[in-house]
Amino acid sequence: MIEGKKHHGKVILFGEYTVIHTGEALALPLRRIYGRLTDKPPYHPQSAKYIRAFFQYLETTQLPHDVSIGIDEWKEDLNQGLYLETNAAIGYGIGSSGILTAGIFKRYAILKHKLSLIQLKEVLAVMESFFHGNSSGIDPLISYIGQPIRTLNSQIELLDGLNNECLRQFYLYDTGIPRNTQPLVKWYKSQMSDETFAEAMTHMSNLVSQLIHSITIGNIQELTLLMKQLSAHQLIHLDGLIPDQVKNIWVEGLENDDYYMKLCGAGGGGYMLIYGLNKLPQKKESILPII
């Protein structure tokens, strides 16, 4: 019986796009979202097919830092019916591919020497690029280490803990729309050639840094003020990443100061993040606390 280690999903609380330009980002594990490699019944053929395609990719991919994959052991497990048992929805921005990548690395990676956090992130990025065409490595890193991190200029800082009073204000809002990351990131990158858009993203990067500072020191009053600014800024400048059926809910929160919404991951669907104040949107079944 195969029973892999449980790995959790992740949420990039701040910096989902500015991190592309080595801006600051804050990410943390989602304890409610998890997955593990297993072969226990019932068999999941779709998940197994997904993992087999990942296997074929890594079978011919050279990983950095002298890391290799135990292909023979993995192949044997595939023949036994290996699949990923998970409650993470695919295409929702909570790290489903990161969970799988972390699980495969944990079970099959062969290391010749201990990896630094940066090296580990680089290896995981190459692995996860199978799913997205390009990966920062943050998603699988969070799933693998199970700790919040702050990144800036390719440096990684492990955070021992974040203020729970601040984190309790955040919720995931299910749009009910699966999305594909690649075209959304492509849209964003194409917009960066416009000077006005690029300036707006520089301002957003500054907001992100202030938000990360406020949450790491537990300043909930400053966090609230900055979240309203970020929500309004994304509504104006990243409207192409906000589904039409979400925009009214987004605007309502801003106008009434009941809650503020922001992108979660690439946007376009999946989950959005809500910072709740007085009350939340009426569709309670679509809302999940992040802690």
pLDDT in tens, 188-242: 999 999 999 999 999 999 999 999 999 999 999 999 999 999 999 999 999 999 9
Alpha-carbon distances of 204 from 15, 136, 195, 219, 280, rounded to whole Å: 9, 19, 14, 19, 24
User: What pLDDT tens digit does each residue of the chain (291 aa) get?
Assistant: 899 999 999 999 999 998 888 789 999 999 999 999 999 988 888 888 889 999 999 999 999 999 999 999 999 999 999 999 999 887 788 888 999 999 999 999 999 999 999 999 999 999 999 987 778 899 999 999 999 999 988 889 999 878 889 999 999 999 999 888 888 988 999 999 999 999 999 999 999 999 999 999 999 999 999 999 999 999 999 999 999 999 999 999 999 999 999 999 889 999 999 999 888 887 766 899 998
Contact between 273 and 180 (Cβ < 8 Å): no
- pLDDT confidence of residue 21: 81
Task: Provide the whole-model pTM.
Answer: 0.90
| CATH 3.30.70.890 boundaries in the chain | 164-289
- Hey, CA dihedral for 260, 264, 268, 271, is it positive or negative? negative
Q: Do the beta carbons of residue 13 and residue 28 sit within 8 Å?
A: yes
For residue 285, the model assigns a pLDDT of 65
Q: Domain 7-158: which CATH class?
A: alpha beta
Kindly state the tokens that stand for 5.
Answer: 């280690």
Residues of the chain with CATH 3.30.230.10: 7-158
> Contact, 26 vs 150, CB < 8 A?
yes
Domain 164-289 in this protein, CATH class: alpha beta
pLDDT at 131: 87
